[in-house]
Chains A and B, each alone.
Chain A
């Protein structure tokens, strides 16, 4: 999306770069025909449900008949939902934020090594990054429960060393953030790897040749070159992580680590009369993420560099 906008802006700005327009009227309808299947799909499975969700979020409950609603414009649903579950929102953002930062900290050196240092091991490393996808997401998350369990090797060792206040890893926010980080790591690694791999190693040499030491070269050349990948990676990690409920469900506790996704899940499926609240939370989450992402892209979105 950002690429397309940037590209068209650049073309508009510089007439020399605009490709010659091809004979207009006869071909005019072709793009729309090609767009049709996609538009139909989007309408059916995105716009219609979204409108439905929006209208559900504004419904009112029949007095005295829990689980029955009538169409209404009841903005109070939002106020109620946000005041009751605001803390879950903040928690979701905090967990997703931490997971994104951790993913970046792990993924950047990994992607850098793969792009510049791995040599013939590059493809093996790529496969290893993607390999976990061959097992179900749920299974892998459950496997983390074994790894982090109180009787597991990690918790035992930490306990033996008295390094684990509280005595547990599971049922804490640490476990949830670790799960999120683990599950979304490939989505950070792959885009960063792609943009680093495209970067000409001579550019890094040029940086060092022009009086930048390794760290300065990293800051002024390597990271800017990887910016499109970093942007894509952080979005691909943060957005789904903020809406995730599986990690909190399987690795977290019943109270202190619930994320907004868990609340939506339980309001929809377990709480009688929770529909409007769940819908209001869903819409709020979407708007919130949209606003955050737009701000982020505005701030850091490079116009496509290559």
Chain B
């Protein structure tokens, strides 16, 4: 059985996987297909069940219900060492009593590979650490340990490679560097990478497909651009980037648009960009899609009066925090393209406008309602 499941090939499939702990459900009826060879990210806040999902794929936890498959092979119930799956642990978990080379050769040796040491050296070359092969983990920096952990997993050529917040302990600059590096290594070795993170930027820059998790469920899944452009839930709208939101009621349609009223302002949402077509809807638009004007713009037909609360200049852009009539705070990014920037002070009255084709509509839920009214709109 062991060799049999270890040889499994194909896509990773989770079928209605549920994990219940004594007092709560960490993962709730989750189904998912990760195509072979893709870079997949599980994105979500801490406690959303993403790490539990990862551990169930690794075999370190067993699902309460549901199945885990690789290709056609059901690996549910098999133990970690029986699965063609390896993990890069959050804290790296390098064996302190072994040298770097021995650490990397650990997997191949357990699988009785005759050329374990050569495989380890090749993997170390892949992560550019050949010169440190004889050292112990304590003698390496965090970034180097991170790469050893990666080499130790990659060397086994697993069907699925799991990365549990792999860059969490690194500083910003190193993290950026490793993001590029990880992406390079993934395309070089062509393995399925599943990357668990709470950092939306990290997920978006690296993954082909991002699944946003919340409360044990997948809220939305898709390529990063699509998640950002067209969120399907209020949670995604706020977790993946920022959104300006408002709760409204749908009044009718106008050509390809739905017309909704958000605190006495009529807004339009493209029909195919709204999840909801009657009743209450959560209207949203991304901060960089909103323009700010000192006087009412002519004939955009999609404008709203607002009051500036705060202005922060960030160099390439200026970020305005404004209050809209609904009482919610919205954020507006204006790129500093003009030589003379708009000179606005807190308390000034302004007009906001946006291209209605950029608006989106999602179902109203409690989280979204709170977010729509939140102080900073984020």
A210 contacts B79, C-beta separation under 8 Å:
no
Could you tell me the distance between the alpha carbons of A206 and B91 in the complex, rounded to whole angstroms?
11
Min CB distance, B299 to chain A, in Å? 62
Q: Which residues of B contact A209 (CB under 8 A)?
A: 58-60, 80-81, 85-87
**Is there a chain A Cβ closer than 8 Å to B97's Cβ?**
yes
B93 contacts A211, C-beta separation under 8 Å:
no
Could you tell me the distance between the alpha carbons of A285 and B6 in the complex, rounded to whole angstroms?
55
Task: Report the contact-size class of chain A (Cβ under 8 Å from the partner).
Answer: 20 to 34
B97 contacts A206, C-beta separation under 8 Å:
no
Min CB distance, B83 to chain A, in Å? 9
B96 contacts A210, C-beta separation under 8 Å:
no
A210 contacts B86, C-beta separation under 8 Å:
yes
A206 contacts B95, C-beta separation under 8 Å:
yes
Q: Which residues of B contact A205 (CB under 8 A)?
A: 60, 80, 87, 89, 93
**Is there a chain B Cβ closer than 8 Å to A221's Cβ?**
yes
Min CB distance, B23 to chain A, in Å? 15
- Pick the interface stretch among A41-49, A212-220, A273-281: A212-220
**Is there a chain B Cβ closer than 8 Å to A224's Cβ?**
yes
B93 contacts A302, C-beta separation under 8 Å:
no
Known: A202-B89, A210-B110, A213-B79. A305 touches B97 (CB 8 A): yes
Q: Closest B-chain residue to A201, C-beta based? A: B93
The one of A14, A211, A212, A224 in contact with B97, judged by C-beta atoms closer than 8 angstroms, is A224
Q: Quick one: which of A1-29 are within 8 Å of B by CB? A: 14, 17
B152 contacts A306, C-beta separation under 8 Å:
no
**Is there a chain A Cβ closer than 8 Å to B106's Cβ?**
yes
**Is there a chain A Cβ closer than 8 Å to B107's Cβ?**
yes
**Is there a chain B Cβ closer than 8 Å to A208's Cβ?**
yes
Could you tell me the distance between the alpha carbons of A202 and B85 in the complex, rounded to whole angstroms?
16
Could you tell me the distance between the alpha carbons of A205 and B60 in the complex, rounded to whole angstroms?
7
B139 contacts A14, C-beta separation under 8 Å:
yes
Min CB distance, A201 to chain B, in Å? 9
**Is there a chain A Cβ closer than 8 Å to B156's Cβ?**
yes
A216 contacts B110, C-beta separation under 8 Å:
yes
Residue-wise, chain A 193-209 has the 8 Å CB interface mask toward B (1 for contact) of 00000001011011111
A211 contacts B95, C-beta separation under 8 Å:
no
Q: Which residues of A contact B80 (CB under 8 A)?
A: 205, 208-209
Min CB distance, A301 to chain B, in Å? 13
Q: Which residues of A contact B156 (CB under 8 A)?
A: 210-211
B111 contacts A17, C-beta separation under 8 Å:
no
Could you tell me the distance between the alpha carbons of A205 and B164 in the complex, rounded to whole angstroms?
13
Q: Which residues of A contact B60 (CB under 8 A)?
A: 205, 208-209
Q: Closest A-chain residue to B84, C-beta based? A: A211
Q: Which residues of A contact B107 (CB under 8 A)?
A: 210-211
Q: Which residues of B contact A155 (CB under 8 A)?
A: none
Q: Quick one: which of B76-119 are within 8 Å of A by CB? A: 79-81, 85-87, 89-91, 93-98, 106-107, 110-111
Q: Which residues of B contact A221 (CB under 8 A)?
A: 95
The one of B6, B81, B91, B97 in contact with A202, judged by C-beta atoms closer than 8 angstroms, is B91
A17 contacts B91, C-beta separation under 8 Å:
no
Known: A208-B80, A210-B86, A211-B81. A203 touches B93 (CB 8 A): yes
B93 contacts A202, C-beta separation under 8 Å:
yes
**Is there a chain B Cβ closer than 8 Å to A225's Cβ?**
yes
Residue-wise, chain A 50-70 has the 8 Å CB interface mask toward B (1 for contact) of 000000000000000000000
Q: Which residues of B contact A206 (CB under 8 A)?
A: 87, 89, 93-95
Q: Which residues of A contact B106 (CB under 8 A)?
A: 207, 210, 212, 220
Could you tell me the distance between the alpha carbons of A227 and B95 in the complex, rounded to whole angstroms?
13
Q: Which residues of A contact B139 (CB under 8 A)?
A: 14, 17
A306 contacts B110, C-beta separation under 8 Å:
no
Could you tell me the distance between the alpha carbons of A305 and B80 in the complex, rounded to whole angstroms?
26
Q: Closest A-chain residue to B58, C-beta based? A: A209
Q: Closest B-chain residue to A210, C-beta based? A: B107
Could you tell me the distance between the alpha carbons of A184 and B114 in the complex, rounded to whole angstroms?
44
Q: Which residues of A contact B (CB under 8 A)?
A: 14, 17, 200, 202-203, 205-213, 216, 220-221, 224-225, 227, 302, 305-306
Given A202-B91, A205-B60, A210-B106, 12 other A-B residues pairs in contact with their CB atoms under 8 A: A14-B139, A200-B93, A205-B87, A208-B59, A209-B80, A209-B86, A210-B110, A210-B152, A210-B156, A211-B110, A211-B156, A306-B138
> 16 A-B residue contacts at CB 8 Å?
A14-B139, A203-B95, A205-B89, A205-B93, A206-B87, A206-B95, A208-B59, A209-B81, A209-B85, A211-B6, A211-B81, A211-B110, A212-B110, A213-B81, A227-B97, A305-B96
Q: Which residues of B contact A (CB under 8 A)?
A: 6, 58-60, 79-81, 85-87, 89-91, 93-98, 106-107, 110-111, 138-139, 152, 156
Across the A-B interface, the 9 shortest Cβ-Cβ residue pairs:
A211-B110, A206-B93, A210-B107, A202-B93, A208-B80, A224-B97, A305-B97, A211-B81, A209-B87
